[in-house]
Amino acid sequence: MTKEDTRDDPMQIDSNLPQQHQFNRAPSASLLTDYLRIYYGKFFPYTDMYKWLAYGNDGKHPGCDSSYFGRREFSFTIKSDRDEVYLRFQSFFNVSEMETSIKAKCPTKIDIGAVYTVDPAKRHAYAQSGFNPVERELIFDIDISDYDDVRYCCSGADTCLNCWPLMTIAIKIIDTTLREDFGFNHILWVYSGRRGVHCWVCDSRARRLSKEQRSAIADYFHVYKGGENSLKKVTFSGPLHPFLARAYTDVLKHEFEKWISTQKLFEHEERFHKILQLIPDESVVSELAEKWQGNSIRWEHLKHMLQSGSKKTQGLRRCIEEIVFSYTYPRLDIQVTKGMNHLLKAPFCVHPGTGRVCIPIDPKKCEEFDPTSVPTVAQLIEELNTNASIGADNYVGKTSLAVSVNLFRTCFLEPLIRTCKDELESAYNSKIKQTKDSLSW
């Protein structure tokens, strides 16, 4: 297609796109704004987001709550030339209002909050006691930067394929526990766009949990003790809780063996000395340090010594589990899970620092997820230009984002909506029956 042809092609987008090798670079602030206008205009799945957050309350069933979606808080981050502006307590009556507002404001980030007793935008018209959160997904936020004391390939917001398995471990353990121990079914995992993952538990029972119940669930997962500068963060005084034993046997034990290799934990003195510091018996530490001189099977030596008969009686056998948990067990931002009014970034946002889309992750195939291959907004626009002649207005279908949108719909949204409709129908029928019973008197 020539330049002249491009001008006449309504599908072709001119956005001063970078070359292919630059797609993984973070866009400048001005370029990001241009990209976001296109992204929100052609790619963002407004209808799917509405269906999710309405939970069947779309006005089509006589038992639905028509005010439900309008009582949900959204927050926008708007980037200007000089600073960032945070617009909290945004609300929308329907999907059309939401789409119009997002396209007009072009936020660099969209956060989702709780469902309140009244429309958040009109909260000032009510007394403080009349404006409270009544529903909120049970959420988990895991950032890889919280593991900086145990990873040596990256630090801060940087990630690579050597340290990303920590996020895979977190997904496996938390997802299994939420389903098997708590009985939740509708769980959405989302890549944060840079350095972590977010979990949304969307069952009606989860959304209606009290703050105390959320705190209890957060504490159920919590094993790290002590402050940030505390050397030993995990201590097991007795047998492992069945949930922790399952996590250790099914996931952590095997993953730690791989972690030893990728992070070279026993190939550098300062790294294996850090592991020795987790052993409370000085005589054992001295013996191991001596044996490790010029020896390459240090982890096997450590396991054999701590799990031998004489050491078991000294209560050191738990040290193996403590070391493994210290390095690989999920590190949660507990306060995010405990509160009802904490904001969390919406799925399918574009991370302003990387340009990558916050796409869903299939927990059943989380080992296959590669954060370095997640599409950037620049890549999507180029794919749209390349495939302009294919189809009509299905812009998402012309790009690699189609796989993620389809995953969101088939594995999460459709089963969730079926359950929501069944619950609405059941509640409505119960209400009708109660009304009839009361009239029969």
3-state secondary structure 255-285: HHHHHHHHHCCCCCHHHHHHHHCCCCCHHHH
**Catalytic site residue 143?**
yes
- Both tokens of residue 360? 């869903």
Phi, psi of 29 (to 5 degrees): -60, -45
- Give CA 329 to chain center in angstroms: 16
Catalytic residue among 141, 146, 175, 322: 141
Cα–Cα distances (Å) from 234 to 15, 108, 252, 323, 362, in that order, read 51, 38, 14, 8, 30
Around Cβ 325, how many Cβ atoms within 10 Å? 23
**Catalytic site residue 141?**
yes
Site of tokens 């009708």: 432
**Side-chain-side CA neighbours of residue 405 (13 Å):** 18
Query: How far is 186 from 243, CA to CA, in rounded Å?
Result: 20
Phi-psi region of 56 (alpha: psi -120 to 50; beta: other; left: phi over 0): left
Catalytic residue among 34, 111, 143, 203: 143
- Both tokens of residue 210? 């009290």
Tell me how far apart the 2 most distant CA atoms of the chain are, in Å.
Answer: 89
Catalytic residue among 34, 58, 73, 119: 73
Helices (H), 86-180: 95-105, 165-180
Q: Name the residue among 9, 78, 69 with its Cα closest to residue 40.
A: 78
**Catalytic site residue 300?**
no
Buried b (16+ CB within 10 A) or exposed e, 207-228: bebeeeebbebbeebebbeeee
Any idea what DSSP says for residue 145? G
Supply the residues annotated as catalytic. 73, 141, 143
